[in-house]
Chains A and B, each alone.
Chain A
Amino acid sequence: MTQQTNLSFSGLNAQQIKQLERESRREHWGRAWYKFSRNSLSIVGAVTILIIVFLAIFAPYVTPYPDHATKPFTDFANASQPPSLEHLFGTDEIGRDIFSRTIFGFRFSLSMGVIVLSLVVPVGVLLGLIAGYYQGTRIDSIIMRTTDIFLSVPSLILALAIASVLEPNLSHSMIAISLMWWPWYTRLVYGQTTALRNEFFVSSAEVTGASTAHILFREILPNILSSIFTKMSLDMGWVIIIGASLSFVGLGVQPPKPGLGTMVASGAKYLPDQWWISLFPALAIVVIVLGFNLLGDGLRDLFAAEEV
């Protein structure tokens, strides 16, 4: 971020600085993409995620037995069949095709991640920006002490506790996780905002009379977007794990809906003989989380390298 400081000394007006800033940011993202595309692991992650998203969206068309996941369906004659060509992942205790249900299960996992993050990120980021900008004031201490409270206990435990008092279903488990998750973003943004708030381009905007909102969203926010995106990508994985854990203990997606954690849990009763009922959904969780982690790590390495 040192470029901006240098530029402003070379006699450019605010408008021009802005223009240059925007260009450099564009260039920055362009270079980022180039570097990213050179890292094979991140590409593997990105491709995995793309495939999963594609499968999830077009699940009714790409799965062999969509009815087994979307409609009430029983076929007791074909129950608990091991994997075969007809049923790639075998069938469960009700005779449903586990492959189809796993693909549909991605829908729950993805929407869990997307919805939780879209609830959490705006709130967390906004609070972090405000607390960071008003560093040292009462607003700062109220916000940051509250995050301390929420971060004082592992998120899984509080999410479990919250989910347990609500009627168990997918949306309540999303609420429970969201309530636990925003402080991470507040803390991340807070750290970066306090670092940036004394930078020259922020104080110059203050001097020119820009509104607080302008400073927060136009000056500071764009500079911390990269770390927010990185964290979001990694968090998709964690949120999916926690969501699956809630479903595993019966506090998330409810059967007969094919949540991945739900499927692992209901299959666990049939271990060790009917191992496929829970193994494949479990592997599916691993794959989707792995995808987001590879992607996130790629992003992090890249931005970290950028900032040096």
Chain B
Amino acid sequence: MKLLPFIGKRAFHAIFVLLGLSIVIFVIARVMPGDPARVAVGAHAPDWVVQDIREQMHLDEPLVVQYFYWLRDALHGDFGVSLVTRRDVAQDIIEFFPASLELALFALLISAGLGITLGTLSAWHKDKFVDNLVRVLSYMGVVTPSFVFAILFLLLFGYLLHWFPTLGRLSEDVARPPTVTGFMTVDSLLAGDMVAFWDALKHLVLPALALAMGSMAQEARITRASMSENLNKDYIAASRAFGIPERYVMGRFLLKPSLIPTISIIGLDFAANFSNAFLVELIFVWPGLSRYGMNAILRKDLNAISAVILVLGVVFIIVNIIVDITVAKLDPRIGLRSARSE
């Protein structure tokens, strides 16, 4: 199968899934008890203000009609006004998404880098001390909820040791670089401001590490498993018997094929980072999409909740497609069609 038709087919499937997701989200958002309009303006506001907001949100119409209004607007990029920030949800998402993305990407760097390294070490020293240590650590990583890691890191590295800052994206005595990409690290580099860059990087470390722990452990386990499986394959023994240098065997024959399952997992973990970020961003006061979504959930902000879930759905789907393509490119044995069948 060629790449373009494959992407086309996946995109078609994606649209279908997103439509379904939009219905699910819409239903969730509208069965909420209480009057969201009243919640929005507070107890003191006169009734006509509340009624205005109800009308703006079409809250008095039948559910089906409300859905089509919502869908029409959503397709135009209009998710309505957030009851918390009091402005367009789309605008909020544009502002908050880059922070989450930066965090998720940084977590991905940490988890993939450390995960693969540890997994390889583990497979290489199978059943030795290093292996056992890595296995125990990865167990702990998998079973510990990210919010527990977040609290532990906050206390240990932030509070007790003062190694890293624990609040937001930049220290308050560091001037913010002009916003270009929305990534604080990239923006500060673009502005040539190394002080801001280091500061932004330091702010990233703890939340990213808390996010990365779970996926890192999982990636280490997967890498170890597939690598130790491949280590026993005949062709490795054969290569060694032929006197091909060990480094070459490891890199070329072992690492590359062994990484395929890891890459699938990395993709899923990357998307899952956005979900775990819901609690981690809250703890580290990270002004990202997940904290925004969490605040929206806690304050019953319908429009914002719907939009955040939809955006994350899109991210998920895109990441999945990319993972499929990458895996297929890496492994000539797998065609694009069957890449996701496992």
Residues of chain A at the chain B interface (Cβ within 8 Å): 145-146, 148-150, 152-158, 160-162, 164-165, 167, 237, 241, 244-245, 248-251, 264, 268, 271-272, 275, 278, 282, 285-286, 289-290, 293-294
Contact = CB atoms under 8 A, between A and B. Distances in A.
A278 B155 CA distance: 12
A250 to B, nearest CB: 7
Kindly name the residue among A241, A285, A294 whose own CB sees the greatest number of chain B CB atoms within 10 A: A241
Nearest to A278: B151
B25 interface: yes
A161 B25 contact: yes
A272 B160 contact: yes
A154 B29 contact: no
Contacts of A272: 155, 159-160
Contacts of B144: 286, 289
Given A158-B24, A282-B151, A152 B18 contact: yes
9 contacts: A149-B17, A150-B24, A153-B275, A153-B312, A245-B147, A264-B151, A271-B151, A282-B151, A289-B144
A69 B191 CA distance: 56
Contacts of B20: 145-146, 148-149, 152
B297 A161 contact: yes
Contacts of A155: 275
B67 interface: no
Kindly name the residue among A165, A272, A293 whose own CB sees the greatest number of chain B CB atoms within 10 A: A165
B215 interface: no
B165 to A, nearest CB: 16
Contacts of A162: 28
Interface in B54-110: none
A275 B316 contact: no
Chain B interface, DSSP helix/strand/loop, else mixed: helix
B147 A293 contact: no
A154 B143 contact: no
Contacts of A290: 139-140, 143
Contacts of A161: 25, 28-29, 297, 305, 309
Interface stretch (B41-49, B230-238, B276-284, B329-337): B276-284
A248 B279 contact: yes
Interface of B: 13, 16-18, 20-21, 24-25, 28-29, 31-33, 139-140, 142-145, 147-148, 151, 154-155, 159-160, 271-272, 274-276, 278-279, 282, 293-294, 297-298, 300, 305, 308-309, 312-313, 316-317
Given A149-B20, A165-B32, A154 B275 contact: yes
Given A146-B20, A152-B17, A160-B278, A286 B31 contact: no
Nearest to B290: A157
Contacts of A157: 274-275, 278, 293, 308-309, 312
Nearest to A282: B148
B17 A285 contact: no
Contacts of A285: 145, 148
A102 to B, nearest CB: 14
Contact of B24 (A149, A160, A244, A249): A149
Given A152-B20, A165-B29, A165-B31, 12 more contacts: A157-B275, A157-B278, A157-B293, A158-B24, A161-B28, A162-B28, A249-B297, A264-B147, A271-B159, A285-B145, A293-B143, A294-B139
Nearest to B160: A272
A275 B309 contact: no
B316 A289 contact: no
Given A248-B279, A272-B159, A154 B312 contact: yes
Nearest to A290: B143
A249 B282 CA distance: 10
B228 to A, nearest CB: 13
A206 B142 CA distance: 43
Nearest to A281: B148
B303 to A, nearest CB: 13
A267 B18 CA distance: 39
Contact of B143 (A158, A237, A275): A237
Contacts of A245: 145, 147, 279
A165 B33 contact: yes
B87 to A, nearest CB: 21
Given A154-B274, A165-B28, A244 B297 contact: no
Contacts of A249: 279, 282, 294, 297-298
Nearest to B315: A153
A43 B144 CA distance: 20
Nearest to A286: B144
Contacts of B305: 161, 164
A146 B312 CA distance: 18
A281 to B, nearest CB: 10
Given A156-B278, A164-B298, A165-B31, A286 B140 contact: yes
A154 B24 contact: no
Contacts of B278: 156-157, 160
Contacts of B276: 156
B27 to A, nearest CB: 10
A251 B271 CA distance: 23
Contact of B313 (A145, A153, A156, A251): A153
A237 B16 CA distance: 32
Contacts of A251: 297
Kindly name the residue among A153, A154, A156, A161 whose own CB sees the greatest number of chain B CB atoms within 10 A: A153
A52 B96 CA distance: 42
Contacts of B17: 145, 148-149, 152
B222 to A, nearest CB: 13
B327 to A, nearest CB: 18
A154 B279 contact: no
Contacts of A271: 151, 154-155, 159
A285 B152 CA distance: 14
B129 to A, nearest CB: 16
Which 3 residue pairs are nearest across A and B when measured between Cβ atoms? A154-B275, A149-B20, A165-B32
